[in-house]
Amino acid sequence: MTEYRQTTPPPDDGETPPPPPRWDEVDWDTWTPPRGGEGAPRLGGGPDLRPLFALIDVMRSALPHELRDQFNSLVREVLLTLMALIDWYPEKLPGGEPKERVEDIPIE
């Protein structure tokens, strides 16, 4: 099979759009997701995590039935670790410990 490749750059007609900003150059406080024709607009800002969740779902469905419970446990442990990191991080921010502590009340 023959593949044809362009060996010279296209002519610069002045209409070339600027490259998109890198992820660390974006002001995430004011960033809004692009509105395309794909589904309803998302709430909030930040990166779109739907492809990540779709990948996890595809991986889960591709596994044999015997391994799905182990995979679900792995995903659960990753999410619990992420939650622990989110809970731990505010203590490291300038300002220290929060002034009010929330009491965990068990529900029976």
More confident residue, 50 or 91: 50
- % of the chain with per-residue pLDDT over 70: 58
DSSP-assigned letters across all residues of 8-70 = SPPP--S-PPPPPPPGGGS-TTT------SSSSPPSS-S---HHHHHHHHHHHHHS-HHHHHH
Q: Is the pLDDT of residue 19 over 90?
A: no
Task: Report how far residue 50's alpha carbon sits from residue 98's, in angstroms, rounded to the nearest whole number.
Answer: 33
For position 76, what pLDDT does the model report? 92
Contacts of 98 (CB under 8 A, 6+ apart): 90
pLDDT band with cut points at 50, 70 and 90 for residue 70: very high
Q: pLDDT tens digit string along 29-53? A: 676 666 655 555 555 567 788 888 8
